[in-house]
Amino acid sequence: MPAPSAHVSTRLPFTTTMIKLPDDDADAGPSGASSSQVEPLAVDPGHPEEPPPEFTPYEAEYFTTSSGNIISHDPHLNTDGEALYRFLLATQDVPL
């Protein structure tokens, strides 16, 4: 029976480098301006906030074979995961 070989680690020693960042000023924004003078980025001041468009589910084209198989060649189902998921839910058979 051969003697067990010793395990030699090939990992290099771990080194940590610390980078000193400027001290954070609680009242200053990115340019050093007061936070009361900085407008939030998520709001466009030129346009009043409009609601998003109404959700409408995607209606994929499909057909059913005489054996009951559902077949779709709709390319949108290959690129939109949400549309594919909803298509599968809408066309699933409900067990009795």
Sequence-distant (≥ 6) Cβ neighbours of residue 39 within 8 angstroms:
45
- What is the distance between the alpha carbons of residues 31 and 63, in angstroms, rounded to a whole number? 59
Q: 90 near 77, Cβ under 8 Å?
A: no
pLDDT tens for 15-35 read 677 777 777 554 555 555 555
- pLDDT tens digit string along 37-87? 665 566 556 666 788 788 888 899 999 999 989 999 999 999 999 999 999
The residues, ordered by sequence, that sit 6+ positions from 54 with a Cβ below 8 Å of its Cβ are none
